[in-house]
Amino acid sequence: MMLDVISTINRKNKMKQYFCLLIIISAFVLLNGCGKKQKDSGAIVLHDILQLQQAQINSFDPVDAYHAGHIQIVKQIFNTLTDVDLKGKIIPSLAESWETIDGINWVLKLRKDVLFAEDVCFKDSNERAFKAEDVKFTFERLLSKDSKSLGISYFNNLLGIDEFRNRESNGIEGIVIKDDYTIHFKLKEKDYNFPNLLSLPYTSIVKKQAIVFYGKEFKLHPVGTGPFKLERFESNEQIGFVRNESYWEKQNNMQLPFVDEVVLNLTTDDNLAFLMFKNHKSDFLELNLPIQRQLENTKMPFEYTKEILKQTQLNFYLFNLEKITDKNVRQGINYATNREKLQSIINEQGFVTQSLFPSIFEDLANSNPVLTYSPEKARNLLNSKMTIKLICFEDILSRAIADFIAKELQNYSIDVKIEAVTFPVLVERLTRGEYDMIQIYWGPLYADVSHFLNPFRTASFPPNGNNFNKYSNPDFDRLVEEAPKVPSDKQDKQYLKAQEIILNDMPFFLAYFKNGIRVSDDKFEMPLHPLGYRFYKYARKSPQRK
């Protein structure tokens, strides 16, 4: 998701830093204040930590959901028409079914038992009912001329979108209400993956009455159909959710969610996050490398369980194609890196990849590996001395990987100058082209293979997309554009061919797919989601706990 984040950072290139006093005050409040409500009220309260990195939480509006932390919040308050299940498959959500006969016309049947959460913006329950008009309003709001949402680019295939965006029409021709619980989407071109797009967090369904009532303040007063309601928000410190008593979804004939409240603590401080977990102020903790090392070297006062999710976030290094113009050099760098040794550095934090596709797309990920370690091929391709400027993040793992790459390339007379920088500085280097190789990551917002290929299309040159090193190959473009136009069971062949082309051109050095590592104090069970969503609605007390 970094590429989406960068587009926004370019507009809002600001980063606030914590002063020591503020960290101490926050630690005191969090360590002494949270964790008491469950004991006092008897409610089932789950505590968690959201470890923010580059961006703070300043809006709960789905159209603003551009970074991972924001998306986690949106998933608790809102629903989309479709969703992604625990196996990474598209399933019904607010749309109970959909059908198409040609890949262009999509008819969705909507649920009839859904209410928006109780709120002062509604006069009665009739106003709270979810209907097709809410779908139409949501998409027109997202895609309007005034919208600055990053979600706009995903829906350029809607019929009439250009006229609507240019204010030549009052509505989108490709969105038609058939009745209160039936809506018709019409596309310009075939797209058999269209239901995947309807799971994007940007498309979370909102109610016109709530938007009108709150106006610009809707971003801090969200009203949705999701399992939880926002109860409180303490900027950069804590978010409190309470059960939406009107929530529609059940699991095994039991009403969701299973918990009464979620207290989500916000921090950018790894030490504080670890201390909160150690002191029973959080039931879960996500592990990056520094926190994992603390955990391994600390005697914990309780037993904990560790779970590993093979994440879909691809970490790689873009080549500056204006500086490293020789394809042989780019291929040689990939062949020169011992991937088994690289895996030993990454350890549990991820798994070294030999292709563009993550394990969520099992058939594609298990295809014949393309990226291999071959010193002989590397020597034939890297036959002259050169110096490369490599930009990476400041964290321990990023620096360790950069050092390893530099050491490997020394064997081929390539001198690598490493510059480890903060996120804003890295973005600046990236957008200005001030690098030879630069670290970047890309994670999916929805379960679609093309999401890992679209950023490298010619049509994705900035400002229309995130193809920052401006890689371009018409054969690659054609395959990626045409794949969604054939039924899903016939798409893999085209995606594999597209991968073959781009890995021959090698506009990047592929490193690894990041794992999600989570530990829990065993008070609650909560399933891991393949896209990294926190499914608090499914969380329940562990059987062994009273």
For the stretch 204-239, pLDDT in tens is 999 999 999 999 999 999 999 999 999 999 988 999
Q: What is the pTM of this model?
A: 0.85
Highest mean pLDDT among 75-79, 124-128, 485-489: 75-79
Domain end: 167, 189, 214, which one? Answer: 214
Give the C-alpha distances (Å, rounded to integers) separating 380 from 316, 415, 517. Answer: 24, 18, 40
State the residue range of the domain holding 201: 82-214
State mean pLDDT over 403-411: 96
Regarding whether 352 and 484 lie in a shared domain, the answer is yes
Same domain, yes or no, for 390 and 504?
yes
Is 165 within the bounds of a domain? yes
User: What mean pLDDT comes out for the span 264-280?
Assistant: 93
pLDDT at 446 over 90: no
User: Which residues are CB-neighbours of 479 under 8 A, at least 6 positions away?
Assistant: 494, 495, 497, 498, 501
User: Is there a contact between 191 and 484 (Cβ–Cβ < 8 Å)?
Assistant: yes
Confidence at residue 442, expressed as pLDDT on a 0 to 100 scale:
85
* Same-domain status, 182 and 322: no
Which pLDDT belongs to residue 6?
52
Query: Which two structure tokens, joined as six digits, stand for 448?
Result: 């679609």
* Same structural domain, 192 and 339: no
Whether 210 and 314 share a structural domain: no
Average pLDDT for residues 247-254, to the nearest whole number? Answer: 93
Q: What is the CATH number of the domain that holds 199?
A: 3.90.76.10
Q: Which residues contact 65 (CB under 8 A, 6 or more apart)?
A: 71, 74, 151, 201, 202, 204
Eight-state DSSP code of residue 450? G
pLDDT category at 392 given cuts 50, 70, 90 is very high
Evaluate whether 509 touches 438 at the Cβ level (below 8 Å).
Answer: no
The whole-number pLDDT of residue 368 equals: 65
Element (H, E) at 521: none
Does any domain span residue 52? no
Q: Which of 166, 194, 214 is the last residue of a domain?
A: 214
- DSSP states along 175-208: EEEEETTEEEEEBSS--TTHHHHTTSGGG----H
Instruction: Tell me whether residue 267 is in a domain.
Output: no
Assess if residue 195 is contained within a domain.
yes
Lowest mean pLDDT among 95-99, 227-231, 477-481, 485-489: 485-489
Higher pLDDT, 158 or 20: 158
Q: Are residues 348 and 465 in the same domain?
A: yes
Q: Which of 182, 214, 246 is the last residue of a domain?
A: 214
Task: Assess whether pLDDT exceeds 60 at residue 16.
Answer: no
Q: Percentage of residues in the chain with pLDDT exceeding 90? A: 70
pLDDT exceeding 70 applies to what percent of the chain?
Answer: 91
Residue 5 falls inside a structural domain: no
Return the CATH number at 420. Answer: 3.10.105.10
Q: Which helix (H) or strand (E) holds 45?
A: strand 45-51
Q: Looking at the domain assignment, is residue 340 inside a domain? A: yes
Query: Does 72 reside within a domain?
Result: no
Residue 292 included in any domain: no
**Number of structural domains the chain divides into:** 2
Report the range out of 67-76, 151-160, 359-368 with the highest average pLDDT. 151-160
Mean pLDDT, residues 463-467: 82
Q: Are 20 and 261 in contact (CB under 8 A)?
A: no
Handedness of CA 108, 112, 117, 119 (dihedral sign): positive
How far lies 336's CA from each of 413, 414, 415, 464, in Å? 11, 11, 13, 34
Confidence check: pLDDT of 355 > 80: yes
| Radius of gyration of the CA atoms of the chain, in A | 24
Instruction: Specify whether 319 is located in the same domain as 210.
Output: no
Q: How confident is the model at residue 451 (pLDDT cuts 50, 70, 90)?
A: confident
